[in-house]
Each structure stands twice: as structure tokens, then as C-alpha cells.
A and B are shown apart, each in its own frame.
Chain A
């Protein structure tokens, strides 16, 4: 009897299971999309090498300065 009732209940959708499945699938897709975007557009190879010298080149004039 209990087993029969269990089967009837198990045919009903568990709202929490559905919610968890939806959220975890979306989170997975989101993290994948973020990772893909990171590696295509923002990975270490895409980052300009910036240091005091390159900042100086960008901000100060390119003409020679005599002290």
C-alpha cells in the first residue's frame, strides 16, 4: 500500500527538485559563459603589459626632455 502511494506521489513534480535543477543548470551555463568570455576576451594574453614606463609613454609627451 505504501509503495503504491509512493508511486502516485512520485509522479507529482517535486517543486524543490525542479527549482534546484533550474537554478543549478542556469548557474552552470552562466559560469561556462563567463569562463568562455574570460578566455576569449579577457585572459592574460589579452591584457596589455602595463608598468611605470608604459604609463610614462602614455601620459607624458614623446618629445625628448632635457633636464
Chain B
């Protein structure tokens, strides 16, 4: 087998990115709404007021549509691991596969089982029993995200694993290190917070639409109260936890942080923050910078005297790591021919942390041991991700995060003053904000994953070497299949959502009541 061509690498990356981004259209709403359903049903059980039960059932209906459309859309990524990313799967599957398997066996089954009871158990379970079921759905969906983000956190900061030259793969040595990986923990709470914001904006926007049209007033007011309170707390958490995520990244993924900040040169501490800049990748400098002094240093290092390393300095560091990695690479070649060679074994053990950097040279030449200084320089610069894309994606995401805080604070203020429906501007802004949390989530994904490039596993395995040598046409056809399939699902999801939102809770429950009466009378006759 040989290394995949550039075309296959690019197509495989595009395919995985598209399927992940499509999948993530459904996920945040499922996770966010599940917790909101738990909150509303808890109020119902505590107060006994029927309106809260109706709210749980109606928002539960929209949750169910989204769950049904989204479920199993993530499985296509697992298809791709076996076919397009076979080298990746072999190289890191021993570690990466563990959290994915636990997610499937534990979290997904928990969530899927109790979703059935949630929908069909209203007349068969006690109030408290059904409430427990609803919270188990919410816990299941959150646990699902936890295991996926533990797997993803390991890609950002590989820990608890060791390279075995005999099996040519990374092998798990400490499950607890993988589970307690600080990158995974911060990613989990930040991502979950963003999902809660998505659920709250969804509820806020639709409630605003009902209030604008003067329909389902009581239902919409109470829903808006829940969305505003929960949304404000979640939006504040997302910003705080995002800051924590950035702090952890500064310790572990310095190049990603430097690229997000378009910081070419290391500044004297505390570094200033570029609010606006136009990075020129060719010239390796920025134009039109608008800076806030000290801010980056304070956010990224939480100190006044710690540097945030710039791209140029990090490339120098990458260059020296490539040179050390070449020693490990050479020792590995020797060990594959002579496994008992103790000198090679010692050399590999001493330099194995840099082996991944030597693998960057594989895209430039086959015999890595003979790389020239120019080729090493080229490989070192390949560690820099796409600066303009990261710089602007991050800023738009943060801008949207701040907007959500303002929107929820405004909503909360209105709710506290019982001024739900006489502020048309607020209601319109709340309505048109509906797509924004999805945009913010996708941009967050771009910052996290595109910012990890050129690595599939940070510092361990370059993305290009994880791709199997499959044919470009095969990837292209399956990519086209995915685009059609997911687009059709998205259209069906939006169609069903719009249909039942337009119908509204009153008509939905009236029709449901008629159907139940009819069924009762048929039984009686």
C-alpha cells in the first residue's frame, strides 16, 4: 500500500468535515432541548399545573422530530473510519475506539431506550416515573457528547498512550488519563453549554413568533420564561468555559492559539489582542490591526509575565522537533528489520515524542532520513494552520456568544417585568436569531478541528498519513451520496418542524384529544 494522493486526502477530509458538520446540525438541539424538557416536566410534577405538561409534550414533539432525523447520521463517520481512514484507525484505534465504543454501548442505548418511554409512557408511568425517564433521556444525550468529546480531546492532546513499534500503533496505557484529559473536559463543558444555548434560542425564537402572531399566548410566555432564564445562565457559562478552553489550548496547542490570534511574532508579555486584523499568509504579517493591549496575555496565560508564543517561534520549535523525530524515524526503521537492536530501541524511546514530526516529511519525500534543510523548513511551515480562516471564524463565534448573552439578558429583563409581547423589536430580533447558534457551533467546530491541522492526532499522526489509498472516484461518489442524503434529511427535518410549529400547541392538543376520544368511543361501541 502507498500513501494516498493529495486529491484523495482532500476529498476524504471534505467528506468527513461535511458529514460531521451535517450531523452537528441535529446534535445541539437534541442535547439542549432534552435538558429543557427535564426542567419543564420538573415544574409540572412540582406544581401539578397542566400547562407545564402540555409544554413538555409539545416541545417534546419537536425534540422527537429532530431526534428521529438526526439519529444515526453520525454513524456515517464510523463508516469512513474503516474505509477512508484505515491507517488512522489502525494507528490510534486502540485508544480512540474505547470512548466511541462506550458511547455506543452506554450513552446512546440509554438515550434511545428512554426516548421511547418518554413518548409512549405518559399514560403508563406515574408522574415521577415519567420525570425520571425524561431526565434519563437528558443524561443519556449529555453522556453521549461526553464520550465523543473524550475521543476528540485525545486527538487534540494525546495522553495515556504509548507507541508500539511491533504493532505500529499507539496503545492504551492509562484509561484514566484519557478520561481525565483536561482538553476533553473543557471541550465537553464548553460544547454542552453551546448546545444548551441552541435549545434555549430555539425555544425563545418560536415563542417570540407565537407572541408576534398573538397565538398560544400563555404557552409562549411560559416557554419564553424558561428559555430566557436557562439561556442566560448557559450563554454566560459558554463564554466562561470557552475562556477556560482557550487557556488549556494555550498550554497544549500553542500553534492553534497563535493562528487564531494571527500572532506571527512572539510579543513581550502581556501580549495584546487583535480585535481586527487582515493576515497575509505569504508575507507572514497582518494589515489593518486594531489591538487591545495586554488582553491576549491575560486571557491566554492569566498572568502578566508569560509569553504567548508567535507562529515564527513555533515554526522554529517544529523544525527542531522534526530533526529529533528523524532520529526516532531512523531507529524505527532499524527496529522493524532488527527488533532486538538495543541501541535503536533506546534511540526510539528517547525521541519517540517527536516521531510524528518526522512523519510530516513523508508528504515531501519518501526517504525521510535524507531530508534536506529546505525540506525540513517546508515541513516545519506545514504545521501552521490556515490563519485567516481561524482568525475570523473565532471572532465571529465569540461575537455571536456575546450577542447571545445580550439577547438572553434582554429577554430575562422583559420576563422579570412581565413585558412579554409589547416589545415588537425584541420579538423580531429573537425570531431572526434562530439560525445563529448553529452558525456559532459550526464555527466553533472549524476553530477546533481546522485549527488542529496538519495533525489528525496532534504531534503524533499527520492527517494526510491517516488516509487510506482508496480511489478518488469512490470518495467522490460517496461524498455526492452523503450530500444528497443529508440535504434530504435536513429538508425533511425543517419541513416537519415548520409544519408542527405552525400547527402550534393548541391545535396539536385539540386534534390529539379528538383522536383519543374517537379511539375511546370505538372501544365503547
To the question of whether A and B form a pair in one complex, the answer is yes
Binary per-residue interface labels of chain B (45-88) against chain A in the complex, 1 for a CB within 8 Å, 0 otherwise:
00000000000000001001100110010011001101100110
Binary per-residue interface labels of chain A (56-67) against chain B in the complex, 1 for a CB within 8 Å, 0 otherwise:
111111110111
> Does the CB pair A50–B515 fall under 8 Å?
no
B271 to chain A, nearest CB (A): 37
Q: State which residues 259-284 of B face A: CB under 8 Å.
A: none
> Does the CB pair A23–B80 fall under 8 Å?
no
> Does the CB pair B515–A14 fall under 8 Å?
yes
Q: State which residues 140-170 of B face A: CB under 8 Å.
A: 166-169
> Does the CB pair A52–B167 fall under 8 Å?
yes
B342 to chain A, nearest CB (A): 11
Q: State which residues 505-525 of B face A: CB under 8 Å.
A: 508, 511-512, 514-515, 517-518, 521-522, 524-525
Binary per-residue interface labels of chain A (23-65) against chain B in the complex, 1 for a CB within 8 Å, 0 otherwise:
1001100110110011011100011101110111111111101
Q: How far is the CA of A58 from the CA of B362 in the complex (A)?
A: 9
User: Which residues of A have CB within 8 Å of B366?
Assistant: 61-63
| From B76, B332, B369, B515, residue with most partner A Cβ within 10 Å | B515
Q: How far is the CA of A22 from the CA of B495 in the complex (A)?
A: 11
User: Which residues of B have CB within 8 Å of A27?
Assistant: 68
Q: Which of these, A10, A23, A30, A54, contacts B72 with CB under 8 Å? A: A30
User: Which residues of B have CB within 8 Å of A6?
Assistant: 518, 521-522, 525
Whether B482 sits at the interface, judged by CB under 8 Å, is: yes
> Does the CB pair A42–B82 fall under 8 Å?
yes
Q: State which residues 3-33 of A face B: CB under 8 Å.
A: 3, 5-6, 9-10, 12-17, 19, 22-23, 26-27, 30-31, 33
Q: For residue B500, which residue of chain A has the nearest CB?
A: A19
Q: Which of these, A26, A42, A50, A61, contacts B333 with CB under 8 Å? A: A61
Q: For residue B369, which residue of chain A has the nearest CB?
A: A61
User: Which residues of A have CB within 8 Å of B485?
Assistant: 33-34, 37
Whether B2 sits at the interface, judged by CB under 8 Å, is: yes
Q: Knowing A3-B525, A61-B367 touch, does A12 contact B86 (C-beta < 8 A)?
A: no
Q: For residue B481, which residue of chain A has the nearest CB?
A: A37
Whether B6 sits at the interface, judged by CB under 8 Å, is: no
B160 to chain A, nearest CB (A): 21
Q: Which of these, B169, B344, B496, contacts A22 with CB under 8 Å? A: B496
> Does the CB pair A55–B87 fall under 8 Å?
yes
Whether B135 sits at the interface, judged by CB under 8 Å, is: no
> Does the CB pair B521–A48 fall under 8 Å?
no
User: Which residues of B have CB within 8 Å of A46?
Assistant: 83, 470, 474
Binary per-residue interface labels of chain B (420-433) against chain A in the complex, 1 for a CB within 8 Å, 0 otherwise:
00000000000000
Whether B128 sits at the interface, judged by CB under 8 Å, is: no
> Does the CB pair A52–B168 fall under 8 Å?
yes
Q: State which residues 361-389 of B face A: CB under 8 Å.
A: 362, 366-369
> Does the CB pair B68–A57 fall under 8 Å?
no
Q: Knowing A42-B79, A55-B90, A58-B465 touch, does A65 contact B524 (C-beta < 8 A)?
A: no
Give the number of A-B contacts (CB < 8 Å). Answer: 143
Q: Which of these, B80, B90, B344, B524, contacts A2 with CB under 8 Å? A: B524
Interface size band for A: 35 or more
A25 to chain B, nearest CB (A): 10
B89 to chain A, nearest CB (A): 7
User: Which residues of B have CB within 8 Å of A14?
Assistant: 511, 514-515, 518
B1 to chain A, nearest CB (A): 5
Q: For residue A12, which residue of chain B has the nearest CB?
A: B514
> Does the CB pair A10–B79 fall under 8 Å?
no
> Does the CB pair B359–A50 fall under 8 Å?
no
Q: For residue B334, which residue of chain A has the nearest CB?
A: A67
A59 to chain B, nearest CB (A): 6
Q: Which of these, A2, A5, A47, contacts B86 with CB under 8 Å? A: A47
User: Which residues of A have CB within 8 Å of B359?
Assistant: 59
Q: How far is the CA of A38 from the CA of B79 in the complex (A)?
A: 7
B516 to chain A, nearest CB (A): 9
User: Which residues of B have CB within 8 Å of A60?
Assistant: 329, 332-333, 336
User: Which residues of A have CB within 8 Å of B332?
Assistant: 60
User: Which residues of A have CB within 8 Å of B333?
Assistant: 60-61, 65
> Does the CB pair A61–B1 fall under 8 Å?
no
Q: State which residues 320-372 of B face A: CB under 8 Å.
A: 329, 332-334, 336-338, 341, 344, 359, 362, 366-369
> Does the CB pair B341–A67 fall under 8 Å?
yes
Q: How far is the CA of A62 from the CA of B3 in the complex (A)?
A: 12
Q: How far is the CA of A54 from the CA of B86 in the complex (A)?
A: 10
User: Which residues of A have CB within 8 Å of B65?
Assistant: 23
Q: Which of these, A10, A15, A50, contacts B87 with CB under 8 Å? A: A50
Whether B287 sits at the interface, judged by CB under 8 Å, is: no
Whether B503 sits at the interface, judged by CB under 8 Å, is: yes
Q: How far is the CA of A54 from the CA of B65 in the complex (A)?
A: 44
Q: List 12 A-B contacts (CB under 8 A).
A: A15-B515, A16-B512, A23-B496, A40-B478, A41-B79, A42-B83, A47-B82, A48-B468, A57-B2, A67-B334, A67-B338, A67-B341
Sample of 10 more A-B contacts, CB < 8 Å, known A46-B474, A56-B168, A57-B1 = A2-B521, A9-B514, A10-B518, A10-B522, A30-B69, A37-B76, A42-B80, A46-B470, A60-B336, A62-B366
Which 6 pairs from chain A and chain B are nearest by CB? A67-B338, A42-B79, A41-B478, A14-B515, A15-B511, A9-B518
